[in-house]
Chains A and B, each alone.
Chain A
Amino acid sequence: EDKVVQSPLSLVVHEGDTVTLNCSYEVTNFRSLLWYKQEKKAPTFLFMLTSSGIEKKSGRLSSILDKKELSSILNITATQTGDSAIYLCAGRSNDYKLSFGAGTTVTVRA
């Protein structure tokens, strides 16, 4: 059975801090690693990583995949209160199936 583990489960930071979220995976026939941000309702797509060692960036968020270590990290720099959310990591094994981790809850205090 595929397994995705995220750490930490939760963290509290102050505005301006940098946050690093971890995701490790054991996914049969691994194809890609996806990150989502979930505020109150729908998870919104952040990144999809297929190749090891290539960083993807979007504003203050960035992510990188390490296929040798079967892991990925998501970085958020200069955090803002709007970054408060649950961040979900998922491993894709084929065109359809995503296996999700339990998520990391990030709280950014003003």
Chain B
Amino acid sequence: EAGVTQFPSHSVIEKGQTVTLRCDPISGHDNLYWYRRVMGKEIKFLLHFVKESKQDESGMPNNRFLAERTGGTYSTLKVQPAELEDSGVYFCASSPRLPRTGNTEAFFGQGTRLTVV
């Protein structure tokens, strides 16, 4: 079974440009999460999809960030325009069920390292 895959693994862009990160969750996982680790900081939650709907986007930093999950399969996270402080590692995770419904866990992708110069 394929795990969570993220593309690209690395991206270097100039300030003001647009970047789109992609996450393919494990097949059948309704829950998809985005997290970010900025250099020297903690891993922080960005948002949570249940199927194609945004359940919680309280962690999105500002309106330069747009996440979508069309059809409830893969998800994209677009940063437009990118700023220097957006540099960091963006992680995607998926899980088959919510903790309230039973034992579960989050399966993480390898992450996308974004560098804005």
Chain A partners chain B: no
Q: Which residues of A contact B (CB under 8 A)?
A: none
